[in-house]
Structure 1
């Protein structure tokens, strides 16, 4: 049994159009993802500027999950760290957990180490280990070990 395929210029043009359209769409998606990450980073930095103690090693070193729940600073820090680690998780995933790519984008090593106590002693037991995918948990542990 023989098959015969007639490829016409119309077919070639259609296939070429599909390939180009798909490539452009993928490129635009990647650009939009990067723009979204940039905007999220800006938002986190604005919070840190408004409340500088959130990035102070003196303050972060005093973290304990058994903080006074009436202490606004520690409540804010708890939420800030959740926001920060969610962002770091998205960045790591975006860069397919390739440390050199992540490190060329943000100072992730410094951030993880600065907020080490929060990561290791979350408000709810196992919160950080259970809330993030295994790849990100290992990624963070790589900076803390």
Structure 2
């Protein structure tokens, strides 16, 4: 009987050990995934800043006004289109990372500063339906509220 009790205790201890080890591994993986995503977001913001330095007109209000009046896209305008896609893709990833909580997003970057200058692009994409399909509906609502200045 004593051998059976020892085996039972050993089995219980082994099972508990596996459960604790498994839970610890899961928690570490969740923590590492969050840190990896946070680093990727920082890297994306760095990319946006590097594009601003390399092509200053991308954030220049005078250029953006000219872009909004053009019907024929030149290379410079296509670069601006790509830049806007990069910015809004970054913001969507940030929004998902922050569970669409504007206050949490603001801890990483001043969101209206990235959205408002490019609001014409957002509202008047050549293919608005594509934008609607490409971005999360919660993100579209968030951006639209920022553009309408319902969120600051």
Partner of 2:125: 122
Answer 1 or 2: which has greater helix percent: 2
Q: Please list every run of 5 or more consecutive structure 1 residues that lacks an aligned counterpart in the other structure.
A: none
Of 19, 22, 35, 1:18 maps to 22
Question: What is the TM-score when the length of structure 2 is the normalising length?
Answer: 0.84
CA distance in 1, matches of 2:36, 2:141: 27
Preserved contact between residue 92 and residue 136 of structure 1 (Cα < 8 Å): yes
CA distance in 2, matches of 1:125, 1:35: 31
What's the Cα RMSD here? 1.9
CA distance in 2, matches of 1:112, 1:10: 54
* Paired residues for 1:36-75 under 5 Å: 36-64=40-68, 66-69=70-73, 71-75=74-78
Q: Please list every run of 5 or more consecutive structure 2 residues that lacks an aligned counterpart in the other structure.
A: 1-7
**CA shift for structure 1 position 65:** 7.5
Larger Rg over CA atoms = 2
Q: How many residues align?
A: 140
